[in-house]
Amino acid sequence: AQSVTQPDIHITVSEGASLELRCNYSYGATPYLFWYVQSPGQGLQLLLKYFSGDTLVQGIKGFEAEFKRSQSSFNLRKPSVHWSDAAEYFCAVGPLSGPGGYNKLIFGAGTRLAVHP
């Protein structure tokens, strides 16, 4: 069955430090992969997505992610974290075939990032 695992529930980093958030997936074909960010009291905002081609994808706010098929991973990285990056981050995989052929995504449980000054 398709699934997404985010092994780290909470991560704390110092401002200016580098960041890597892990995402592992189980999917029967070449997946489409997404990272979303949720600031407190807000909805989810798309950071970046991978469909095909270059396995290193660039997103907004200075984030990037690398697709590694051999490891079934799509880890999110940022070279230098800012205090405003404190939020919850969700990895998602799709598309799953649903009735009507729609684009169902499965989301991980999220990683909450805290940033120390």
Burial of 95 by CB count in 10 Å (0-12 exposed, 13-18 middle, 19+ buried)?
Answer: middle
Type of residue at 25: Y
Tell me the C-alpha distance between 50 and 58, whole Å: 9
Residues 46-85 as x/- pattern, contact with other proteins by CB under 8 A: x--x-x----------------------------------
Site for other proteins in 15-34 (CB under 8 A): 32, 34
Q: Which is nearer to other proteins, 38 or 75 (CB)?
A: 38
Type of residue at 48: L
Interface ranges with other proteins (CB under 8 A): 4, 9, 32, 34, 36, 41-46, 49, 51, 90, 94-95, 98-100, 102-110
